Structure 1
Amino acid sequence: MIQLIGEFECKLDTKGRMVVPAALKRQLPEAEREGLVVNRGFEKNLVIYTREEWNKKMQQLAKLNQYNLKNRNFVRQFMRGATELALDAAGRVLLPKGLLEYAGIEGEVVLACQFDKIEVWSKPVYDQLMGEDMGEDFAALAEEVMGGFDFGGMDNE
């Protein structure tokens, strides 16, 4: 599993192309050869996966019982708009118009790396989402999410 890190601000050109930042491109050595896949995120954002990580997601989805209506609906929604991306000679990817419209992305974009994927956000939406001062709320969230987590013998305070 790859471990992508970083947060990058980019701009789309008038055709919907985005230059992949050099620092991010270095973390994606196989992307030029194998390509990337973009699809809808769970919020109004997009998600980019390496081909390897996308294939893992597909293997997981293939194990779902296709006779179950909820499973079929989830697969449809998850796969909706999924598109292969290829880096051009200038290191750009063309983001599909329909996906850009879904995420409300125009012009400025934030790429937020999370483990094995890259979330793609409209910069104003991301700034609003992350600009909310969580203060003590973030500490409470950290305690709720991570407080009872077993860190393999480490002292859990």
Structure 2
Amino acid sequence: MNYLIGEYECKLDTKGRMVVPASLKRQLPDAEREGLVVNRGFEKNLVIYTRSEWNKLLGQLARLNQFQPKNRDFIRKFMSGATELMLDSAGRVLLPKALLEYAEIGAELVLACNLEKIEVWSKVKYQESLDGVSEEEFSDLAAQVMGGFNFGGDENE
């Protein structure tokens, strides 16, 4: 799969439907045929997966030893709320009310592409999360997270 890119501000209609932006939809060529899956995120947000990425994730979860209580608890919590999304003829998806409430998403939201998935945030919460890391902290974080990588280049590069 190609990695997804972009950040999109969207609005929900009164029924909880969101139009998938055209430039994002172009990055999801199989979404109309296979659908998408939305689930709770780890930070009071939602996460949308393509069906193929969701199936890869389920394959990883299926390998966990379910005789271990921590594994069962994680799987149960992670899977709660997972819902299939289908695009309608107008290119909209209906986001489940319970998930919108979990993520405290109102009429305005942000779709933030994150590698192979799409994070769905309340517009206000998304901005708060970005503002929560200063430029200096981001620079330090980059050094900690990415500083040890050899990006395949020559040592002199």
**Does the alignment reach a TM-score above 0.5?**
yes
Deviation track 1:5-62 (CA, whole Å, cap 9, x = no partner) reads 0000000001100000000000001000000000000110000000000000000000
Change (3 A) 1:63 1:133: closer
Match of residue 114 from structure 2: 114
Match of residue 7 from structure 2: 7
- 1:125 maps to a residue whose letter is K
Is there any run of 5+ residues in structure 2 with no aligned partner, and where? Answer: none
- 2:122 maps to a residue whose letter is S
How far off its partner does 1:117 sit? 0.2
Q: Distance in 1 between matches of 2:34 and 2:108?
A: 26
- 1:73 maps to a residue whose letter is D
Q: Distance in 2 between matches of 1:67 and 1:153?
A: 44
Is there any run of 5+ residues in structure 1 with no aligned partner, and where? Answer: none
Indicate the larger mover: 144-153 or 49-58: 144-153
Instruction: For residue 61 of structure 2, give the secondary structure of its aligned residue in structure 1.
Output: helix
Matches within 5 A, 1:1-157: 1-132=1-132, 134-155=134-155
How far off its partner does 1:123 sit? 0.2
How far off its partner does 1:153 sit? 4.3
Paired residues in the alignment total: 157
Q: Distance in 1 between matches of 2:35 and 2:23?
A: 17
Instruction: For residue 65 of structure 1, give the secondary structure of its aligned residue in structure 2.
Output: coil
Q: Identity rate of aligned residues, in percent? A: 71
How far off its partner does 1:131 sit? 2.6
